[in-house]
């Protein structure tokens, strides 16, 4: 499996990204999305993930991000016993704006004692593939 296959997986209608986030990796993601027919200039559903062994720490993230107009999606315990929080926002991102957002979310996560675990992106209409954003 080559390096790129580790960076981006397509699961259902989502591009799932989990790796050390650099501007180069984000630019690569945008290029791959464009090459697959995704209109990256449209508003998309961006999911942002946080992980902690302490559920209460993630609840602090929920409140902080709700103030910034993010929407709570879910909070669940994963197979390892830690908890994963998914917050979402329908918005347009560029590689630079997404990189800045990831840096900001990482700082917020660190201040709350949790880990920022990356992002995913999909169609705001969850019933349609990301390539059918109108």
Q: Kindly report the pTM of this predicted structure.
A: 0.85
- Whether 132 maps to a domain, the answer reads no
Strand, helix or coil for residue 52? strand
Residue-averaged pLDDT of the chain: 87
- Whether 133 maps to a domain, the answer reads no
Q: How many CA atoms lie within 13 A of 66 on its CB side?
A: 9
Strand, helix or coil for residue 10? strand
Residues 118/49, Cβ–Cβ less than 8 Å: yes
CATH code at position 81: 3.30.70.970
In total, how many domains does the chain have? 1
- Whether 40 maps to a domain, the answer reads yes
The boundaries of the domain holding residue 72 are 3-126
* Rounded-to-integer distance, Cα 26 and Cα 38, Å: 15
- Whether 131 maps to a domain, the answer reads no
Tokens at 124, concatenated: 């705001």
pLDDT at 19 over 50: no
pLDDT in tens, 69-92: 999 999 999 998 999 999 999 999
- Whether 23 maps to a domain, the answer reads yes
């Amino acid at each position: 499996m080559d390096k790129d296959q580790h960076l981006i997986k397509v699961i259902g209608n989502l591009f799932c990204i989990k790796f050390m986030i650099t501007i180069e990796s984000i630019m690569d993601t945008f290029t791959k999305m464009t090459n697959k027919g995704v209109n990256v200039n449209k508003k998309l559903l961006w999911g942002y993930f946080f992980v902690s062994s302490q559920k209460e720490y993630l609840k602090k993230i929920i409140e902080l991000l709700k103030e910034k107009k993010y929407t709570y999606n879910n909070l669940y315990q994963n197979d390892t016993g830690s908890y994963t929080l998914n917050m979402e926002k329908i918005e347009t991102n560029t590689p630079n704006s997404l990189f800045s957002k990831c840096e900001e979310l990482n700082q917020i996560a660190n201040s709350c004692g949790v880990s920022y675990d990356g992002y995913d992106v999909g169609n705001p209409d969850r019933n349609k593939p990301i390539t059918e954003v109108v």
